[in-house]
Amino acid sequence: MTREIVQYPDARLQTPCAPVADVTEVADLIRDMFATMYEAPGRGLAAPQVGVLKRVFVMDAGWKEGAKTPKTCINPEIIAASGRVTGPEGCLSAPGVLAQIEQHAEITLAYTDAAGLRQKETLSGFEAICAQHELDHLDGKMHFDRLTAKARQDLIADYEARK
């Protein structure tokens, strides 16, 4: 089932999320998040974007270009990062708000998958950017929170004027 996507400035998008104690507690949530993400259509979705303050996100960085490669990340953490890259980022929780955001070019992400197994994976390119974007949501941050105060203020003003 799909869920409603929470829109900025909802306070849940600015609240750090609690760790998941047992993957079984988020099994239904994960299924619903994938359905919601694909329908939106997006490439990543974090639990607070559907109103659940748990440390889980789903992503499929390449599905729009080819085969689906879904990834579930529970209690994710970046354990290594290198390089920097700047590019456009948007967000399902702030439609139409695109910003040039600087992220790490490559990360090593540790997370628990949907089966409850701990994983460690090195991500690069759009997959690394997507994971960092979703991880920011788990920390209560939006993509434009990475901008200067003035650029952030201008983007938010433009977004609110279009609502």
Residue 39 among the catalytic residues: no
Do the strands 118-124 and 71-89 form a parallel or antiparallel pair, or are they unpaired? unpaired
Alpha carbons 70 and 18: distance in angstroms, whole number: 23
Which of these, 41, 36, 38, 39, lies nearest to 6 by C-alpha position?
36
Catalytic residue among 25, 89, 134, 160: 134
* Residues 91, 48 contacting (CB under 8 angstroms): no
Rounded Cα distance between 138 and 107, Å, is 17
Length of the chain: 163
Cα–Cα separations (whole angstroms), residue 81 to 26, 58, 109, 148:
28, 20, 9, 22
Query: How many CB atoms within 10 Å of residue 12?
Result: 17
* Catalytic positions: 134
